Amino acid sequence: MSEYKSALIIGMAGGLARITATLLTREFPNMKITGVDSRPIKEPLKNSNIRYLQFRYSRSHFEKLFRDQSFDVVLHLARMSHSDTSNNLSQRLETNITSTNRILDLSLKFGTKKIVVLSTFHVYGALSDNPVFISEESPLKASIKYPELRDVVEMDQLASSWMWKNQNHIETVILRPCNIIGPQIRNTMTQYLSSPYAPVCSDFNPMFQFIHEYDMSRAIVAAIKKLPVGIYNVAPDDVISLKEARKVLQVPNIQLPSFVLEGGVRLLSNAFWSFPRYLIDYIKFASIIDNSAFKAHAQPFEFRYRIKEALELLKLD
C-alpha cells in the first residue's frame, strides 16, 4: 500500500463522511483532508489536518480544486438521497451522474492514486425472484419498475464502466452497502424504521441487512488500504426480519395488506414524509447481498456491531 498523504472527501456535510474523516486521521496521521459539499457543513471537526469548502458541484469549481491541490485519494460519498423531498429527479441526475463523471475524469487527469465510490445495494432491486444472496455480478434491475431509481443505477453503471476502462491507470473501488443506519444517518430507511406511523406488510416479512455507520466508515477505510480494483457488496453476516427489527426499536408494527399499502403510498407521503414508491417492494421482498468478496479482500476485518446492536444504538438517538 502506498503512503497516502492527501484525500478529498466529497459529501463532507454527511454523517458518514465526518466519521470517515475522523478514522482517516487516525489511520494516516499525516494525511491532509479536504472535505467539500454543496450543503453547509455544520459543526466542523476540529482537526488541523481537515479543511472544509462549500461550493456548487460544477465543473469549474472541481477543476480549480484539482488544479490547486493534489489528491492521492478521492472518496465520492456525495450520492444524493431520495429521502430529501427538496431534490427532484433532475437535481439528482446532476449530482449523482454528471458530477460523478466530472470527479472521475479529473481524478485521472490530475494523478489521483485511488478512488472509492459509494453506491448502494438498492441498484439490484427488490424482486420476488431475487436469489438468496445477490452477488456483485447480478444485474442491476432497480430502475425497471421504478424510474425514480434511474439516477442511482446510472451512477453505478457509469462508475463501473469507467473503472474497468481505466483500471491500468487508477485504482477504483465501488462499494454497494446494505442499509446504513446510525445516529448520524438520516436516510430513507432510518426514517422508516424510526417512525411509529410507518406500516409493514401483513402478508410479507422479508429479511434485512443493516450496517452501523461506524462499521461502514471502517469499510471505506479498508477499501482505501486493502481492496483492489472492483465492486464490493458491504454487509455484516447476520440478517433480521423487518418486523423483528422494528420490535428491537420498540416501534409498533402497524400491519396492512400490501395492496392497501401500495394504494395508500401517496397519502403516507403527504402526511408524514416522502415515502418513496420503490420502498414498498423493499419491505415486501428480500434483497440480501453476498459479502464474501469484501470479506476475502479486506481481511482481517470484523464488523464491530451486530444488527441488533446497531438497531439498539439507533433507538438511543
Reported as a single tens digit per residue, the pLDDT across 12-24 is 999 999 999 999 9
| Model confidence at 98: pLDDT above 80 | no
Question: Three-class SS string for 257-313?
Answer: CHHHHHHCHHHHHHHCCCCCCHHHHHCCCCCCECCHHHHHHHCCCCCCCCHHHHHHH
Q: Where are the domains of the chain?
A: 6-182+210-237+288-304
| Model confidence at 140: pLDDT above 50 | yes
* Res. 162 pLDDT band, cuts 50 70 90: very high
pLDDT, averaged across the chain:
89
Q: Find the range with the poorest average confidence among 61-70, 89-98, 251-260.
A: 89-98
Options 3.40.50.2000, 3.90.79.10, 3.20.20.70, 3.40.50.720; CATH of 6-182+210-237+288-304: 3.40.50.720
At residue 83, the pLDDT reads 46
Cβ–Cβ < 8 Å for 12, 37: yes
Give me 88's grid cell.
427532484
Cβ–Cβ < 8 Å for 220, 75: yes
| Model confidence at 271: pLDDT above 70 | no
User: What gap in Å lies between CA 189 and CA 180, rounded to an integer?
Assistant: 8
| Model confidence at 84: pLDDT above 60 | no
At residue 149, the pLDDT reads 86
* Res. 86 pLDDT band, cuts 50 70 90: very low
| Model confidence at 317: pLDDT above 90 | no
Torsion of CA 179, 309, 243, 261, to 10 degrees: -40
pLDDT tens across 29-53, in order?
A: 999 999 999 899 888 888 999 999 9
User: What gap in Å lies between CA 145 and CA 139, rounded to an integer?
Assistant: 14
At residue 37, the pLDDT reads 93
At residue 196, the pLDDT reads 84
Cβ–Cβ < 8 Å for 307, 239: yes
Number of H helices, E strands in the chain: 14, 13
At residue 52, the pLDDT reads 95
* Res. 301 pLDDT band, cuts 50 70 90: very high
Which residues fall within 8 angstroms of residue 251, CB to CB, at 6 or more apart? 193, 194, 195, 196, 198
In Å, how far are 262, 297, 308, 310 from 212, measured between CA atoms?
29, 20, 10, 5
User: What gap in Å lies between CA 259 and CA 279, rounded to an integer?
Assistant: 14
Mean pLDDT for the stretch of residues 67-79: 93
Q: What percent of the chain has pLDDT over 90?
A: 68
In the numeric block, the cell 442511482 is attached to 152
Cβ–Cβ < 8 Å for 115, 100: no
pTM: 0.93
**DSSP state, 20?**
H
